[in-house]
Structure 1
């Protein structure tokens, strides 16, 4: 169904996206600091659950488009490429700013989980990202597209769960971590931007 090169590229790119500090990382750090490691882990699980919901919606919608027209699917796919390249250029050109820790109150573990799901599901940028990102690794000629979407989404979610759990468990002094983020943040935009653009170039090269 997937070639080794395709899966390897997907895993490497996802890992690259995870290690850059973003809103989800800051939320997990804040939850861990205020409500403990379990709350931080549950927040990560909630974010992963929200990503799974986005995956299911993207799989259903984009597979329906493919069944209607292969041309329509390619239009959506290359629109996704354009969006990812746009995100990449904007991230590279954007001036780095100090990351702001979200203001949240201490909550129970289950509330942390539920709130993280809501935050992730209602984030339109996340929905657009999944609609743009996943199709770049789907190859209709290699079998069921909806199955390919689901496999990629599950891999993404499993990697997210492992990463956020390890992250929450490894936070000893969140304040020290936040200070390090200030240094990492100077380069994170350029690195993430390069990742987004590389996805677009990957598809452009495949089409030749």
Structure 2
């Protein structure tokens, strides 16, 4: 069982890391600018749910194997980068679509959750973070190592959801103002898409972990 001291220490460390804008924030802001507050919040929820994959992988010892394998790590990195780029291109392609129109790049809640889930599950930076950090806060004397890792991962996901939701709401509010003008709305959609394309491209071009 995870100790209270370890949980609190990890929560503080996670908060300090999460509040610093990074790839996750860029993804959330880009989605919110392109899809609005609802799309942004659903993307946040999906992204955090996607963390379950690397968290479980670390708890089972698979995460370390992936992070240490050049082939596996590169495969995950490419999958995540390509998918982010695809989502960005979709946003740019549909930049002139009505806010609530049928041609929106992703209209259903299920689609938005799934897209966020894939991004969260295939983010290699998240895998490396969980592999390197989670085990450091485990109390081996208490036993139940996999359970402790799962608990730590849940703490991180909850804090990330709360912080990323703030970014989603703020970016969604900015989009609401831009929506008053079709031209500004088109530019806003394109900007959000460009952010995701840049994020995906940066992930693809990043050096492999060795």
TM-score, length-normalised on structure 2?
0.59
Gap runs ≥5 in structure 1: 64-75, 81-101, 179-208
**Within 1, Cα distance between the matches of 2:55 and 2:33?**
30
Deviations 1:105-154 (A, max 9, x none): 14224322212221222222221221111101011111211111111111
Please name the residue that 2:72 is paired with: none
Helix, strand or coil: the match of 1:173?
helix
Please name the residue that 1:37 is paired with: 37
Helix, strand or coil: the match of 2:51?
helix
Alpha-carbon shift at residue 104 of structure 1 (Å): 5.2
Please name the residue that 2:99 is paired with: none
Deviations 1:11-33 (A, max 9, x none): 11111111111111111111111
TM-score, length-normalised on structure 1?
0.59
Deviations 1:33-83 (A, max 9, x none): 1111111011111110111111111101279xxxxxxxxxxxx7xxx9xxx
Please name the residue that 1:21 is paired with: 21
Judged with a 3 Å threshold, the aligned counterparts in structure 2 of structure 1 residues 104 and 20 are, in CA distance, closer, same or farther, namely: farther
Please name the residue that 2:131 is paired with: 131
Corresponding position: 1:46 with 2:55 = no
Q: Is the 8 A contact 1:30 1:104 kept in 2?
A: no
Q: Is the 8 A contact 1:31 1:104 kept in 2?
A: no
**Within 1, Cα distance between the matches of 2:165 and 2:62?**
30
Please name the residue that 1:112 is paired with: 112
Q: Which has the higher contact order (CA 8 A, sep 6+)?
A: 2
Please name the residue that 1:70 is paired with: none
Gap runs ≥5 in structure 2: 69-87, 92-104, 178-190, 192-210
- Figure out how many residues of one structure are paired with residues of the other and give that number: 141
